[in-house]
């Protein structure tokens, strides 16, 4: 009965920053759900090639990888044209490419703050604005913005990232408000703490072999009692890309092992 609800047969998905990490896992889940084509972009040729190898190793042949800086508006518009010509319509956009800089706010240079805002907030606007006109014509589209715990919470050293991811939550709601009438759904996926290269510095073993204090902190702060794996975002990501979520719009689906529900362990 519900089988077809989650099928992505006939759909093409563009996942920004999909060469590895969370974007790669989401893309693999879309391929497994039957998507026709997976398209990803990343920031450099070495990453593109490594990403393509990883998709092929996962048995995914209908995949195209491109080098495209998501903050470069012209390059993004050129890429969208190229995807239309080489693959067809973009039914699903996942704004996943992202960076973080962990620097105390009062020591951060304005240019560093701006770079995080550009990649994590301005780029999702650029990519969404580039795909929306064609989605409006077809009266169908899914846009998924990868948010964060920092869409809701602050912590030391991540001011620019929190500002960007909080903004991305509101951009999500606004895209929903502005284009919902065209049968375009824009939702956020808010991962908790996921073991990827972005968080590797927070999980490094200490010289004496003990856990990084931040690693231990996250395990204690997460009711699940562990970091999550990127593959655990697969189900929610497929849901938000599929017909099953056609009435879900402007929502942020947190996949955090319970972090946002929990005040923390009593001392
Ligand atoms: P990751 O492994 O570092 O992957 C980030 C991807 O973004 C890479 O493919 C990278 O390209 C791409 N990218 C960065 N800047 C780019 C630019 N200017 N143009 C094009 N591509 C660019 O990180 P991740 O942990 O998978 O994170 C993916 C998303 O999830 C990010 O938005 C992140 O903020 C968010 N997130 C992560 C966590 C977590 O705990 N890991 C939790 C919540 C949210 P290259 O391959 O060329 O470097
Ligand atoms: C940090 C982390 C986080 C995660 C994620 C949480 O330094 O606190 O990198 O910001 O990457 O976004 O959901």
Closest Cα partner for 73 from 14, 123, 120?
123
pLDDT at 267 (0 to 100)? 87
Burial level of 11, CB count in 10 A (0-12/13-18/19+)?
buried
Q: With a 6 A CB cut-off, is 22 part of the ligand 1 pocket?
A: yes
Minimum CA distance residue for ligand 1 atom 11 = 42
Confidence grade of residue 265 (pLDDT, cut at 50, 70, 90): confident
Which atom of ligand 2 has the smallest separation from the CA of 102? 7
Q: What is the pLDDT of residues 162-182, one digit of tens each?
A: 999 999 999 999 999 999 999
Reported pTM = 0.98
Q: With a 6 A CB cut-off, is 191 part of the ligand 2 pocket?
A: yes
pLDDT at 51 (0 to 100)? 98
Is residue 202 predicted with pLDDT exceeding 70?
A: yes
pLDDT at 52 (0 to 100)? 98
Among 79-83, 133-137, 209-213, the least confident range: 209-213
How many Cα atoms are found within 13 Å in the side-chain-facing hemisphere of 207? Answer: 0
Is residue 3 predicted with pLDDT exceeding 80?
A: no
Can you tell me the mean pLDDT for 6-25? 98
pLDDT at 115 (0 to 100)? 98
Is residue 1 predicted with pLDDT exceeding 80?
A: no
Q: With a 6 A CB cut-off, is 203 part of the ligand 1 pocket?
A: no
- Sequence-distant (≥ 6) Cβ neighbours of residue 36 within 8 angstroms: 9, 10, 11, 12, 62, 88
Is residue 235 predicted with pLDDT exceeding 60?
A: yes
Active-site annotation, residues: 161
* Contact indicator for 189, 144 with CB cutoff of 8 Å: yes
**Read out DSSP for 141-174?**
EEEEEE--GGGT---TT-HHHHHHHHHHHHHHHH
pLDDT at 149 (0 to 100)? 98
Q: Please give the span between the terminal C-alpha atoms of the chain, in angstroms, as a whole number.
A: 48
Q: What is the pLDDT of residues 73-88, one digit of tens each?
A: 999 999 999 999 999 9
- Sequence-distant (≥ 6) Cβ neighbours of residue 216 within 8 angstroms: none
């Amino acid at each position: 009965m519900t089988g077809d609800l989650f099928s992505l047969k006939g759909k093409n998905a563009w996942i920004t920053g999909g060469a590895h990490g969370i974007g790669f896992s989401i893309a693999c889940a879309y391929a497994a759900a039957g998507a026709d084509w997976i398209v990803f972009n990343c920031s450099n040729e070495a990453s593109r090639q490594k990403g393509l190898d990883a998709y092929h190793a996962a048995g995914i042949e209908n995949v195209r990888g491109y080098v495209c800086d998501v903050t470069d508006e012209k390059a993004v518009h050129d890429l969208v044209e190229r995807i239309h010509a080489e693959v067809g319509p973009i039914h699903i956009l996942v704004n996943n490419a992202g960076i973080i800089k962990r620097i105390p706010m009062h020591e951060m240079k304005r240019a560093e703050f701006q770079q995080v805002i550009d990649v994590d907030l301005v780029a999702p606007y650029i990519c969404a604005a580039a795909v929306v006109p064609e989605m409006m014509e077809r009266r169908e589209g899914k846009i998924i913005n990868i948010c964060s715990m920092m869409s809701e919470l602050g912590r030391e050293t991540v001011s620019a990232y929190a500002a960007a991811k909080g903004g991305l939550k509101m951009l999500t709601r606004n895209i929903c408000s502005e284009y919902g009438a065209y049968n375009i759904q824009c939702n956020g996926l808010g991962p908790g703490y996921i073991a990827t290269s972005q968080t590797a510095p927070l999980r490094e073993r200490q010289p004496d072999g003990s856990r990084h204090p931040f690693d231990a902190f996250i395990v204690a702060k997460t009711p699940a009692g562990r970091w999550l794996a990127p593959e655990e975002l697969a189900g929610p990501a497929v849901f938000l890309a599929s017909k099953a979520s056609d009435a879900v719009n402007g929502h942020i689906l947190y996949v955090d092992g319970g972090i946002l529900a929990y005040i923390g362990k009593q001392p």
